[in-house]
Amino acid sequence: NKGKYEHYMQKEIHEQPESLTTTMRGRLIRGGSCKAKAVLLGGLKDHLKTIRRSRRIVFIGCGTSYNAALAARPVLEELSGVPVTMEIASDLLDRQGPIYREDTAVFVSQSGETADTLRALEYALENGALCVGITNTVGSVIARNTHCGIHINAGCEIGVASTKAYTSQIAVMAMLALAIGGDTISNQERREAIIDGLFDLPNKIREVLKLDQEMKDLAKLLIAEQSLLVFGRGYNFATALEGALKVKEVALMHSEGILAGEMKHGPLALVDENLPIVVIATRDACFSKQQSVIQQLHARKGRLIVMCSKGDAASVCSGGACRVIEVPQVEDCLQPVVNIVPLQLLAYHLTVLRGYNVDQPRNLAKSVTTQ
Ligand code: M6R
C-alpha cells in the first residue's frame, strides 16, 4: 500500500523518520540522573566479549548494504579499537580471501537472502569465524544461519532501490559500535553525544526531507545529463558511493562515487564546465580538506553542487559559482544518515522526470538470489 505516495521508493524515503524510530526502539537507554546512557542489543549480549577480543571485524555485503557498513566503519574502529576491514561478498569469494577463527564476520543484508552474501557466510562458517547477521528480514537464511545478530526493523522495503534499510543499517551499526566499545571514562562524552544524536536523528531526517522540492528543481536541471560525479571522504565516502548507486540504479544515468582524496590521482582530468559534480562538505574533521577540493574544482571551472551544513553556504562557495544543498548538522558519525536523504530524493525525482520505472528498475531484482 503506497498510501498518499505515487511510488514505493518515494514512500520509503519519506518514511525514514518512523523507520529509524522503530530501529532504535527499546535499544537505547536515555539515562536519568543516576543512570548512564546505554545501548541494549539483545541478540548480541552473549557474544560481545568474543567480539571485543577478535583479531578483526570484517564487514561483508553487496551494494547498498556494503555501503552502509562502509559508513559505519569509522565509528566502529574508533569505539572498539578493533581493526575493521571491508569485503564485497563476491570479491571475497573470488579471492578466497583469508578468514580466521579469531575474526568476527558481520554479514549485512536487507533481504537476508542475497546469494553472494550467503555463500560468503558459508565460507566464513567453514573457516571458524564468529558470524553476525544484520538483516531486515526475520527468518531469512542469513538471519538463521549466523551465530547471532541484529534485526534492523526498518519494515518491509518494496522498492528495488534500498533507501530506508540503508539508514536503519547505519543506525544499527552505530549502536553496534557503542555496544562493542563498552563504557570507559575516556569515551563517555563521545558515547553520550552519539546516543543523544541517535535519539534526535528522526527529527533531523524530518528536517532534511523538507528539501524535497529543492531536489526536484535540481533534478530538472540535471534531467538531460549523461553523468554525475559525487565526491566524498571520511564518514561520507559511503554517501558518495551510495548516492551514485541510487542515481545509476533508478535514474539510469551514469554516476560515480569518488573518494575526494583520490581526486588528483585521475578523476580531476574529467572536470570541465559541463560535468555536474556533487561535493559533500558537511562539518567534520575532513571539512577543511573538502574546502580545498572545492577550490581546486572551482579553479577548473567545475559545475559544482555542494552539500554543506546549515549556515555554511557562503563559506563553501566563496571561490566561484555553485549550487548549495544545506543539511542539518548532527554528530559526525551519524551525518551519513542525514546526507544520503537529499541524494535519494534527487535520484527519485530524476527517475520520474526521465520517465523510468522507479520501483522496478530495468534488469534489477529486489533480492539477488543467483550468483
Ligand atoms: O538484500 P541485500 O541488502 O543483501 O541486497 C544487496 C544489494 O543487492 C542491494 O543493496 C542493491 O544494491 C540495491 N538494489 C541497491 O539499492
Q: What is the DSSP code (8-state) at residue 274?
A: S
State mean pLDDT over 337-345: 98
Residues 340/242, Cβ–Cβ less than 8 Å: yes
- Taking the model in full, what pTM does it have? 0.97
Residue tagged 571561490 (cell numbers): 319
Centroid of ligand 1 to alpha carbon of 108 (angstroms): 10
Residues 247/253, Cβ–Cβ less than 8 Å: yes
pLDDT, tens digit, 9 for 90 and up, residues 82-124:
999 999 999 999 999 999 999 999 999 999 999 999 999 999 9
**Beta strands at 303-309 and 276-281: parallel, antiparallel or unpaired:** parallel
**Predicted local distance difference test score (pLDDT) of residue 34:** 62
Centroid of ligand 1 to alpha carbon of 367 (angstroms): 7
State mean pLDDT over 24-39: 82
Q: How far is residue 272's CA from residue 346's CA, in Å, rounded to a whole number? A: 22
Residues 117/58, Cβ–Cβ less than 8 Å: no
Give the C-alpha distances (Å, rounded to integers) separating 39 from 42, 133, 204, 317.
Answer: 10, 18, 21, 40
Query: Does 321 score more than 90 pLDDT?
Result: no
**Predicted local distance difference test score (pLDDT) of residue 33:** 67
Whether 109 lines ligand 1, by a CB cut-off of 6 Å, is: yes
Q: How far is residue 304's CA from residue 285's CA, in Å, rounded to a whole number? A: 22
**Predicted local distance difference test score (pLDDT) of residue 365:** 86
Nearest CA to ligand 1 atom 8: 63
Whether 88 lines ligand 1, by a CB cut-off of 6 Å, is: no
Residue tagged 545509476 (cell numbers): 248
Name the nearest CA neighbour of 216 among 189, 179, 251, 265: 251
Q: What is the DSSP code (8-state) at residue 186?
A: G
Give the C-alpha distances (Å, rounded to integers) separating 213 from 172, 209, 220, 277, 346.
Answer: 29, 9, 11, 20, 10
**Other beta carbons within 10 Å of 87:** 23
Binned at pLDDT 50, 70 and 90, residue 311 comes out as very high
**Predicted local distance difference test score (pLDDT) of residue 37:** 81
Phi/psi of residue 151, each to 5°?
-85, 140
Q: How many helices (H) and strands (E) does the chain have?
A: 14, 12
Binned at pLDDT 50, 70 and 90, residue 35 comes out as low
Centroid of ligand 1 to alpha carbon of 311 (angstroms): 34
Residue tagged 553520550 (cell numbers): 192
Centroid of ligand 1 to alpha carbon of 164 (angstroms): 12
Residue tagged 530495468 (cell numbers): 362
Centroid of ligand 1 to alpha carbon of 150 (angstroms): 18
- Percent of the chain at pLDDT > 70 equals 98
Residue 192 pairs in a beta bridge with none
Q: How far is residue 223's CA from residue 2's CA, in Å, rounded to a whole number? A: 25
Of the ranges 2-11, 30-39, 96-105, 116-125, which one carries the lowest mean pLDDT score? 30-39
Say what the ipTM of the complex is. Answer: 0.98
b/e map 213-231, b = 16+ CB within 10 Å: ebbbebbeebeebebbbbb
pLDDT, tens digit, 9 for 90 and up, residues 240-267:
999 999 999 999 999 999 999 999 999 9
The whole-chain average pLDDT of the chain stands at 95
If one compares 119 and 33, the residue with the highest pLDDT of the two is: 119
Centroid of ligand 1 to alpha carbon of 188 (angstroms): 35
The one-letter amino acid code at 98 reads P
Q: Which atom of ligand 1 is nearest to the CA of 61?
A: 4
Whether 67 lines ligand 1, by a CB cut-off of 6 Å, is: no
Nearest CA to ligand 1 atom 14: 161
Q: How far is residue 113's CA from residue 368's CA, in Å, rounded to a whole number? A: 8
Centroid of ligand 1 to alpha carbon of 81 (angstroms): 29
Which of 162, 164, 370 to mutate to test ligand 1, by most ligand atoms within 8 A of the CB atom?
162
Nearest CA to ligand 1 atom 10: 64
Q: Which atom of ligand 1 is nearest to the CA of 114?
A: 4
Of the ranges 127-141, 164-178, 307-321, which one carries the lowest mean pLDDT score? 307-321
**Predicted local distance difference test score (pLDDT) of residue 369:** 84
